Structure 1
Amino acid sequence: MSPDGARLYVANATSDTVSVIDTSADTVTATVDLSPYPGAPMGSMPNAVAVSPDGKTLYVANGGNNDVAVVDTESLVIRGLIPTAWFPSALLLSRDGRLLYAGNMKGLGAGPNPRGPNPEQPLPTQQYVANMARGTLSVIDAPDSATLARYTAQVVKNNGFDETRKVLVRTPGEARPHAVPRRAGDPSLIRHVIYIIKENRTYDQVLGDLRQGDGDPGLVLFGRDVTPNHHALAETFVLLDNCYADAEVSADGHGWTTAAVATDYVQKMWPANYSGRNRLYDFAGGSSAPAPLAGYLWEQAARAGITYRVYGEFSAFGSKPPNVTPAPFANGLAGHLSATYAGYDLSITDQARVDAWQAEFDELVRRGAVPALMIVWLPSDHTAATRPGFPTPKAMVADNDLALGRIVEAVSRSPGDLRDRG
């Protein structure tokens, strides 16, 4: 609220904007775009605001960019950006406006986790990422113009905005197709994508025993004896030993995996669910609140006219083969989600899932109707730890590894004209 009460500033985390409301008329009079550059995908996540005592400056916490935007309230132009710790989510100014307090929801992150959960040997001394992260408070002098310019340059460097922006710029003339396009929108040689989503295993837990990579053999839980197919794929193609995940747990991981973002709602709500405080798990189509504005991969495929089929991901909890249905708010999956492929149910093996996928795939190949995009969820490597009635963690990860290998083999042995008929 402005000091005179005439203006109300509302942060819209899902649309990366701030609405300016005339309180006397209860109408939106202006909208401030918090995107870091033109054409940027959603992800700034403005989620808190503060107004200077003189009403001339609006501060906006961009949780997704780890910064605070400094906005001139007269022109509504962003003057610059202030770097913060991870995910600023609360702002307060001192009475004289000289100090800005920024509460950072995720602070400095969890850091290394050498005592992470071992599903085969649960111990009370083990660390869990959700318990390790600590919020922080940044106390910042309100910057002058020179300092703000320096801060802004630091934010751009921290986030790689310059490099990211280059990727969005099309090259002049007709671009040559590449397997991985150099610029967004350039043509690709790839005609079909089978996107396999697995669960929460770290690089070191599975591939830390590979000498070629930057791993720690001491952290290996499911090495070559358990995951021969993972190892064979890594050694045959690419290791990705320095490819890092944005997610902390499955709840936000499925957002990052299927939409390249976990929304402000997801970021703030999953801890309440994971801590057992009676918070509904609605992060995978259980409600409309977690959904990103641009939608999920399958929604974007539909808009682009790309054929797609989804196996397990965002299926309704409790629905079982042969009647698996989409989650209530999983838009775009009706008619595109396999009814015979199980979603998250650890009592069902990944072998059963691949049996269902294989039957569909073979029929689609026979009909020349393989979709351009397949999204396949193999969740058994989540494991059920040492719960009675379930296989051991190693058995479940081995099941997952075999399922992955079966999919790769099936595709590798499919007819050579598959790419021309899908």
Structure 2
Amino acid sequence: MTPVGIINGTPNFPTMVAAEGGFIAVLANGATPFQTVTFYSRNSLERLDRLAAFAKVAPTKPMAWATSGGNGTALNPEHAGAAGVVYVPKENVALKIRQAKATLAAESNPNPIPTALLSHSDLFQGLTAGTDGIFYATGGDSDNVVALRDVHGRVQVLHQYTLQWQSFPKDQYPYQYQGDHQKKHLFYPDSVVVGPSNHHLYVTGMLSNSLARINIATGETDYVNVGAYPFAVTLADQRQRLVVSDWGGNGITVLDRATFHVIGHIATGPAEDPATIAAGVHPTAMIALSDSPNVFVADANVDKVVEVDTQTMRPLRVIYDSPYHNAPPGSYPDGLAVADGELFVANSGNNDVAVYDVHTGERLGLIPTAWYPTALAVNDGALYVTCAKGLGSGPDLQWQYIGNMMHGVLQKVNLSELPRHLAQWTRESLHNDGFALAQRTARHTQDARTTTFLKKHIRYVVFILRENKSFDEDLGDYSAAGKWADSHFDLYNQKELPNLYSLAHHYALFVNFMADGEVTAQGHQWVDGASDSDVVQRLWPEYYSNRGLLWNAGPGGSASLMPQAPGAHNPYHYYEKLGDFTNPWISYPQRLYLFNNLLQNQVSFEDFGEDTTRARDGVIRSALKSHVAKIYPSWVPF
């Protein structure tokens, strides 16, 4: 990664940025004890102040505690940009608390940032601002929208708007409510936009398949069904129409803003029905053109941006967002912005922002970013980018929990620099990802040579999946691995892992795989599909921090919709009928899993306990199910 421009840190996993007046606001919603909205100076990116939302009562003084599961946590409301979260396997409460406090001290800014605390709330991934300087942030599990503003260097919460779950048709994906059925059903606010004259808020409800219209003055709220897993909402056609992207569908839903009635649906991907086996296209971010009824829609799972006309209700053209011709999917475009005749596309999978000519669709170049860009905003001649994983994790010197130890990044790029630097930035971006022509040519030659060798010498493959282990952790002391093994990180040895060392010595040993998996949710999907979909990357933090989502936010597996009910932890469910379990179809990457590829190429295989893919209706098709060892229990994500 070689991010350009001005950068500053954010709390873990920022997913939205909004600009208004002299402020840039960033919403961060990692797997942390609290989520934040941080205000930055538009010019310098200096941190100004912050709101921290706590699911329970916000602490008013420093505190620390430990759990029996290995976690230790320390909080200081004066340093609400970070929490000290550690994982210490030893059952030693004092050690956990000591390490958590040390982590908090190491992570905290020496200059406290003015922080407003909000109890009984959390934040998801929606943030916007009205023309009156009031910002609005969505709280997923808390089912609310928080109105806030910066007043003389401190955040003030002005109001909280409460939302309610709405039922949806049983023949509409995901066919039943995907939250915990033993708790209150959640609307789960996702995206938010402010209507004309600051009269209304429009809010998508991810678990309700609904859009809410909130009267800002009175709080009166109306709802309408808009399709599967509504993601973003925007105004189009001179603000006369509302447009909602359906994350779990194949396009967008268009509404008349004045009547709040659905006009129709515009497909940006292939038709889908309950029997659909292929992965979804994942319509996510949108940007409306100010001088036309047209809207750009990012289909994140297929590396495309589709321009649609909200008057004629049809798609106009497709911009292919792959880094090179015939590249495999994985760019994951999930943030859009338009300025000065150019379309900017945040490619979370490539760590860059692609720049296109709005009129021709021609790619003009790439802007290098930090890790996993998630959102874009343009303000006063500058492009602002949030990157969820920042500059990476670094060493865990205080036993930090990998799920939330990475700071995010806010990046500012002056658009006036593009003519002078874009060509060089493009070369840097391509080289960073190994996408330069010379790199691809060398890799293709090596891959062809390796494939020829493997086909000649290997007849059977036994794939043993070892969860939550790095190569050096297990085999860092294995001298035969040469430069690929680092004994400094070895936690075991041949005496403790005799079977693993024997397998490595007598059979094949693969090294230098760079998996994008901080936690189990990403790791399993990377193993199964060689890619983590945008759904998994964006939703695992909510599941891991107990914020209203279940295991459908994980690696394509399922979990009981009644987690406390008898039979909820069924290790054989991975091949059984879906029943009252979560529907995982939305989480699959575009090319599905290894098992689908083996089936397609008529390679015989047997699966002992790892998840396979289900069709959109949750059914495992018989051709795939016939390769599952039904007497073997699965790994259990509970």
Per the shorter chain, which TM-score range? 0.5 to 0.7
Q: Which residue number in structure 2 is paired with residue 180 of structure 1? A: 451
Residues 1:39 and 1:168: Cα distance change in structure 2 (over 3 Å): farther
CA distance in 1, matches of 2:533, 2:407: 20
Establish whether residue 129 from structure 1 lines up as the match of residue 402 from structure 2. yes
Which runs of structure 2 are paired with 1:50-129 in the superposition (5 Å)? 50-52=337-339, 54=340, 56-95=341-380, 98-115=381-398, 126-129=399-402
1:336 pairs with 2:627: yes
Whether contact under 8 Å (1:69, 1:82) holds in the other structure is yes
Corresponding residue number in structure 1 for 2:609: 312
**Alignment correspondent of 1:15:** 302
Among candidates 291, 303, 314, match of residue 4 of structure 1: 291
Structure 1's 188 and 179: CA in aligned 2 closer, same or farther, altered over 3 A? Answer: farther
Residue of 187, 196, 199 corresponding to 2:464: 196
Q: Deviations over 1:323-354 (max 9, x none)?
A: xxxx94656631111101110149xxxxxxxx
1:123-163 CA deviation, whole Å, 9 max, x = no partner? xxx31111201211011122433411101000110000135
What is the distance in 2 between the residues matched to 1:195 and 1:234?
12
Q: Secondary structure at the match of 1:14?
A: helix
Aligned-partner Cα distance in 1 for 2:601–2:510: 29
Structure having the larger proportion of residues in strand: 2
Among 437, 441, 445, which residue is 1:166 paired with?
Answer: 441
2:313 counterpart residue number: 26
Q: Going by fraction, where is helix more abundant, 1 or 2?
A: 1
Is the Cα–Cα contact under 8 Å of residues 595 and 612 in structure 2 kept in the other structure? no
Per-residue Cα deviation, 1:350-397 (whole angstroms, up to 9, x for no partner)? xxxxxxxxxxxxxxxxxxxxxxxxxxxxxxxxxx9xxxxxxxxxxxxx
Stretches of structure 2 that go unaligned for 5 or more consecutive residues are: 1-287, 559-583
Question: Does the alignment pair 1:49 with 2:321?
Answer: no
Q: How many residues align?
A: 316
The answer (yes or no) to whether the contact 1:312–1:341 under 8 Å persists in 2 is: yes
Q: Is the 8 A contact 1:179 1:189 kept in 2?
A: no
Cα distance in 1 for partners of 2:535, 2:506 equals 40
2:421 pairs with 1:147: yes
What is the alpha-carbon root mean square deviation over aligned residues? 2.9
> What secondary structure does 2:353 align onto?
strand
Q: Secondary structure at the match of 2:423?
A: helix
CA contact (8 A) 2:402 2:518 kept: yes
Q: Is the 8 A contact 1:315 1:343 kept in 2?
A: no
Separation (CA, whole Å) in 1 of partners of 2:594 and 2:450: 19
**How far apart, CA to CA, are the structure 1 residues paired with 2:442 and 2:630?**
38
Q: Which residue of 1 aligns with 2:16?
A: none
Letter in 2 for 1:292: P
Secondary structure at 2:540's aligned position in 1? helix
Aligned-partner SS, 2:501:
helix
Identity %: 34
Q: Residue 166 of structure 1: CA displacement?
A: 2.5
Amino acid at match of 1:111: G
The one-letter code sitting in structure 1 at the alignment partner of 2:322 is S
3-state SS, counterpart of residue 155 of structure 1: helix
Contact residue 599 and residue 624 of structure 2 kept, 8 A: no
How far apart, in 1, do the equivalents of 2:327 and 2:511 lie? 28
| Inter-CA distance 30–187: structure 2 relative to 1 (3 Å threshold) | farther
**Equivalent-residue separation in structure 2 for 1:285 and 1:221 (angstroms):** 30
Deviating more after overlay: 3-12 vs 207-216 = 207-216
TM-score (norm 2): 0.46
**Distance verdict in 2 for CA 1:289–1:209, change over 3 Å:** same
Q: Secondary structure at the match of 1:70?
A: strand
Tell me if structure 2 keeps the 8 A contact 1:205–1:223: no
In the alignment, what sits opposite 1:319? none
Tell me, in whole angstroms, the C-alpha distance in 2 between the residues paired with 1:137 and 1:64: 17
Length-normalised TM-score, structure 1: 0.68
What residue is the counterpart of 1:207 in the other structure? 475
Q: What amino acid is the match of 2:326?
A: G
Unaligned runs of 5+ in 1: 116-125, 317-326, 347-383, 385-422
Per-residue deviation at 1:5?
A: 4.0
- Would you say the 8 A contact 1:263–1:290 is kept in 2? yes
